[in-house]
């Protein structure tokens, strides 16, 4: 399993328009807590079903996308943050030490 980079608002809007749940990990490349959360997620990637994708958002480079997520899905911006989004709904979000990959499996299985 590799990360899929979330690079543009168009890409995000295409994901949302599919009306299928998708997972976004918002990561600050300057934050040690965020790096630890990322490593923890990667350690648990073997739990993911075949073909599952987690979209990786670099908050430093692409803050406009993070701001759009916070506004559009009415979820307070945090870093690190793991979200499950579907259409116009945020089905799940967690930040910092509450991030657990196992919590999103029911949404993407």
For residues 66 and 34, the answer to whether their CB atoms sit within 8 Å is no
Confidence of residue 6 (pLDDT cuts 50, 70, 90): very high
> In angstroms, rounded to a whole number, what is the distance separating the alpha carbons of residues 96 and 87?
25
* Strand residues in 13-106 grouped as ranges (E): 22-27, 54-58, 81-86, 89-95
Mean pLDDT of 73-102: 94
Mean pLDDT of 81-89: 96
Helix (H, G, I), strand (E, B) or coil at 61: coil
Instruction: Give residue limits of the domains in the chain.
Output: 3-108
> In angstroms, rounded to a whole number, what is the distance separating the alpha carbons of residues 26 and 57?
5
- The CATH number assigned to the domain with range 3-108 reads 3.40.30.10
Encode pLDDT of 40-81 as tens digits.
999 999 999 888 899 999 999 999 999 999 999 999 999 999
Of 83 and 19, which is predicted with more confidence? Answer: 83
pLDDT for residue 1 is more than 70: no
- As a whole-number percent, the residues of the chain with pLDDT over 70 amount to 99
The pair of three-digit structure tokens given for residue 66, joined into one six-digit string:
């993070």
> In angstroms, rounded to a whole number, what is the distance separating the alpha carbons of residues 11 and 17?
10
């Amino acid at each position: 399993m590799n990360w899929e980079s979330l690079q543009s608002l168009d890409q995000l809007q295409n994901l949302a328009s599919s009306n299928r749940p998708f997972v976004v990990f918002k990561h600050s490349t300057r934050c040690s807590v965020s790096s630890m959360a990322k490593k923890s997620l990667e350690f648990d990637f073997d739990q993911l079903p075949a073909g599952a994708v987690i979209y990786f958002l670099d908050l430093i480079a692409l803050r406009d996308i993070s701001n759009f997520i916070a506004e559009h899905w009415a979820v307070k911006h945090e870093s690190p943050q793991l979200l499950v989004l579907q259409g116009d709904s945020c089905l799940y979000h967690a930040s910092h030490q509450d991030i657990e990959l196992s919590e999103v499996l029911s949404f993407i299985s």
